[in-house]
Amino acid sequence: MTPIRKLLIANRGEIAVRIIRSARVRGIRTTAVFSDADRNAYHVRCADEAVHIGGSAPSESYLNIDAMIDAAKQMGADAIHPGYGFLSERADFALACAKAEIIFIGPQASAIAAMGDKAQARRRMMAAGVTCVPGYDGDEQNEDSLIEAAAKIGFPVMVKASAGGGGRGMRIVHKAADLPDALTSARTESESAFGDGRLLLEKAITGARHIEIQVLADTHGHVLHLGERECSLQRRRQKVIEEAPSPVITPELRESMGAVAVQAARAVGYEGAGTVEFLFDPETKEFYFLEMNTRLQVEHPVTEYITGLDLVDLQFEIAEGKPLALKQEDVKFSGWAIEARLYAENPSLNFMPQTGVITAFEFSRDEGVRVDSGVEAGDEITSHYDPMMAKIIGSGPDRETARRRLIAALENGAVLGVSANQEFLIGLLRDEAFVSGKADIDYIEHNLDSLCPPTESATLREIALAAAVSTKAPAGALLTGWNSRGAQPVPIILQCGDEVIHSAVIFNGDMISVSRDNETAHIQIGKRNDGRLTYFENGATKVAYCVRNHDVIDIKDDGVTRRFLDLTYAPAGDQAIGADAIFAPMAGLVTGISVSAGDTVRKGQTVVTIEAMKMEHQLKAPRDGLVAEVLAGTGIQVSIRTKLITLTAEI
């Protein structure tokens, strides 16, 4: 047995911070790594020390095996924890650690290789007697072979990246005519994300639930499971809400699925923490092997709550060569936990990832609430990495208590500076299908219209709060609106979503009055402190978050977050942004432009494709018209809100 004294964490963000927490409890010193973009990141500030490993692009830093090994040697680390994503499921990284005589906190390279290739894993599991979803995992990868295989399987089919994970390179196809485009798209995304374009096909099971089993295996041949997690609420095959236990799994099914998961781990001589994923058919009560993730899962906290175990600490124990102190009969389950993934993304824009500086980030750790965060206020979300900011976990003695605590944590928390999926998560947790435990893996995709309702117009109170931090506010340098007769109305022009708002505002001491469409609202401004603003309305004292960053104003009031663009001093031609132009909604690489100057476009037509965070995002024309100018080119890196296309009225 070899005790770990110094740990290099080959990752970033939330998981790096999480690993640091457990390492500190064990007295292990931690070394963080960082790219150019992460020089001042939160995980760097949390570690005992940090070392630079390369450029902002993952290939130059977090995916650079040589740089990781060199950093570990340079800093004297005797172990490396890969976290999840990046190098965590790369067999060659585990081999490189072994060659450098550095402890790799994860399974051996042979197990990673056996389960990392999805097609090979399917074949290995079937050979071990584990039932898999009917599908095609052959070596013939040309389009004709895949189309023929899909016809034999029967639609709908799931196209999956053989080397993939995390929902990337996955497409569900409902009819044969859509398959060629899905194959091309999945292959392109897989090559970009994993450097491997091989695909496999599986039968898409209607109404299925995504159930996974946490397993642990030590180096002495002991393997056990820690029960199931329900991960059915997914968007683009990426998990959004996870919980433990599952509302559809009985104790008998748990025992059966756990035994199969242990069998799968034994089939590859697994060592460490891993997860075996299944598709479960609620109608037939049958379950099918999907894949094994040979690493720590994002959603591991919900298992930690219901078992009382620290999975990262157990990873350390196994890596040090200690036998598991637990036997299967020692594993007890108690309570319920639900986790929500908080992303920097805009649900109203098809969940477009967002970039920018976080101006406020505040979540209270009330009873039964855990926040695993990778950011703080002042940190920047860039286009280089996954936009997940934090995981918010609600727990309690039963599912309803956990659900209510999680909703309260999300409602009371604030994220400003970048758009977040906070309100979307709250809507999901309140949706009747989730409340009743009936949401399947297709639920979000089939109910996007109800889960992402049209944004309501900003209220007069919200406009008043925005005005309180606008360039017209008395706290600024301007005294516009005052004359010998006292306070006078001054105009303010704001944009919220696609709506341009013209209002008249009177600043009279700490009283703000806003008029619009013959209606008026009055609020009195009180104390301001780090973005929190106390105000008084109709005799009630209230608190909102209000932060201004250049011409962008973010507020959160009464559970609703709004982003306003202050157009008060913008040139007249730019005061209807979104109507006459297409702007980059994030920083990214322009990978395609499908129009030229003079072309006629229709509202909703794709005109530009941007790649950011390893995913392609299509930008649509906001209205019918003619293309006046194309201001960007393919292969150009653009910043957020760069003007890409301008439109003029159709002749």
pLDDT surpasses 70 at 188: yes
Domain that residue 591 falls in: 578-648
**CATH number for position 163:** 3.30.1490.20
**Is the residue at 119 inside a domain?**
no
213 and 190 share one domain: no
Mean pLDDT for the stretch of residues 153-158: 91
* Domain finish residue from 451, 471, 501: 451
- pLDDT band at 573; cut points 50, 70, 90: very low
**Is the residue at 162 inside a domain?**
yes
Q: How far, in Å, CA of 509 to CA of 486, rounded? A: 10
**Is the residue at 530 inside a domain?**
yes
Structure tokens that stand for 257 in this block: 């699925």
For the chain, give the percent of residues with pLDDT over 90: 65
Strands, E assignment, 309-405 = 336-343, 345-346, 352-353, 356-357, 360-362, 369-373, 380-381, 388-396
252 and 337 share one domain: yes
429 and 483 share one domain: no
530 and 625 share one domain: no
* Domain finish residue from 566, 588, 620: 566
pLDDT tens digits, 513-547: 999 888 999 999 999 888 899 999 999 999 999 99
Count of structural domains within the chain: 5
**Is the residue at 547 inside a domain?**
yes
What percent of the residues of the chain are helix, what percent strand, and what percent coil, each to the nearest 5? 25, 35, 40
pLDDT tens digits, 253-308: 999 999 999 999 999 999 999 999 999 999 999 999 989 999 999 999 999 999 99
Kindly report the backbone phi and psi dihedral angles of residue 215, in degrees, each rounded to the nearest multiple of 5, phi listed first. -120, 155
What sign has the CA pseudo-torsion 199, 203, 206, 208?
negative
227 and 343 share one domain: yes
**Is the residue at 385 inside a domain?**
yes
H/E stretch holding 184 reads helix 179-194
Q: How far, in Å, CA of 603 to CA of 622, rounded? A: 5
Cis peptide bond prior to 245, omega within 30° of 0: yes
Mean pLDDT for the stretch of residues 188-200: 85
**CATH number for position 69:** 3.40.50.20
Interacting residues of 62 by C-beta distance below 8 A, sequence separation 6+: 10, 11, 12, 33, 35, 53, 86, 87
249 and 217 share one domain: yes
**Is the residue at 171 inside a domain?**
yes
pLDDT tens digits, 2-23: 899 999 999 999 999 999 999 9
Tokens 């919980």, residue? 243
Q: Report yes or no: 635 and 592 within 8 Å, Cβ to Cβ.
A: no
* β-strand partners of 244: 337
pTM of the model: 0.85
240 and 181 share one domain: no
**CATH number for position 377:** 3.30.470.20
**CATH number for position 595:** 2.40.50.100
**CATH number for position 477:** 3.30.700.40
pLDDT tens digits, 331-361: 999 999 999 999 999 888 788 888 889 999 9
pLDDT of residue 77: 98
**Is the residue at 121 inside a domain?**
no
Taking alpha carbons only, the member of 83, 80, 84, 59 closest to residue 71 is: 80
Cis peptide bond prior to 622, omega within 30° of 0: no
Q: Report yes or no: 583 and 507 within 8 Å, Cβ to Cβ.
A: no
Mean pLDDT for the stretch of residues 582-607: 86
Kindly report the backbone phi and psi dihedral angles of residue 343, in degrees, each rounded to the nearest multiple of 5, phi listed first. -110, 150
Local structure of residue 324 (DSSP, 8 states): P
Over 97-131, what HEC string results?
Answer: HHHCCCEECCCCHHHHHHHHCHHHHHHHHHHCCCC
* Domain finish residue from 451, 473, 500: 451
326 and 305 share one domain: yes
312 and 165 share one domain: no
Q: How far, in Å, CA of 551 to CA of 538, rounded? A: 30
178 and 298 share one domain: no
**Is the residue at 540 inside a domain?**
yes
Interacting residues of 185 by C-beta distance below 8 A, sequence separation 6+: 171
What sign has the CA pseudo-torsion 192, 86, 392, 243?
positive
390 and 406 share one domain: yes
- Helix, strand or coil, per DSSP, at residue 189: helix
Q: How far, in Å, CA of 319 to CA of 314, rounded? A: 9
Alpha helices per DSSP H over 395-538 = 399-412, 422-430, 432-435, 443-446, 448-451, 460-468
478 and 421 share one domain: no
